[in-house]
Each structure stands twice: as C-alpha cells, then as structure tokens.
Structure 1
Amino acid sequence: MEDIQLISRSDAAKMMGKTPGYLATMAYRKKGPRFIRMSRRCVMYDPNDVRQWIESHKVETEE
C-alpha cells in the first residue's frame, strides 16, 4: 500500500486561500473538498482532493 500524504485543515485552507474556520463550516454543511475524519476533533485532507475540488470550481470566462 502506498503512503498517502495528508495535510491538516490549516494547510488545506492555505491552499484555497481561506481560513480553517471556513473549511470547518463547509465540512459541516457537507460542502468543499473531501476530508478524512481521523477522530472526533481531527480531520485531514488529501492534497489531491483539495486540488481537484479547486479545479472543479473554476469558471470559464470570455476573453
């Protein structure tokens, strides 16, 4: 099994330009990137899931 590098909510928020609180609210509302609940108070993110979520929310504009 390959090692999966997980990142904290704080690091995921930095990738998105948001605060950890914003990500916590999104998770509570079942929105945002997928996360892994390690314990009742600890969640981690796969950076690939965060990148994929960001990519899926890009909006095309006319130039």
Structure 2
Amino acid sequence: MRRVVEHLPSPSPSATVGRGRVRRPADRPVRRRNPLATVLVMVVLTTVIASAAGLAFARAR
C-alpha cells in the first residue's frame, strides 16, 4: 500500500506594503559653455588683429 503524505496548509500571504522610491525631480544639468563660442572669439580676435596690422603696414608704405 502507498503511504499517504498529508500536506500541511501553507500560510496565506499577508498584505505587503509597497516600498517604492520617492520620486523627486532631477537636478538641472550643469550648463556648460559652448566650446565653439571660444574658438569663434579667437578667430574673430586674430582676424581683427591681422587686419589692423595689415592696415598699419599699408599706411607705412
């Protein structure tokens, strides 16, 4: 004869409290300077200096 194994009832699941993360707005990203603006300033500055030097040497002749 087969032996009958009695199963013990499992405990009913209890209600769990959700532990969700607290949502908060993200910090604003750090505003970085545009590197092209720096290059543009250098190009304009060297062009102005070269033009001024060219005009000065043209008047000296």
TM-score class normalised by the smaller sequence: under 0.3
More strand, by proportion: 1
Select the structure of larger CA radius of gyration. Answer: 2
Q: TM-score, normalised by structure 2?
A: 0.27
Q: TM-score, normalised by structure 1?
A: 0.27
Which is bigger in relative contact order (C-alpha 8 A, separation at least 6)?
A: 1
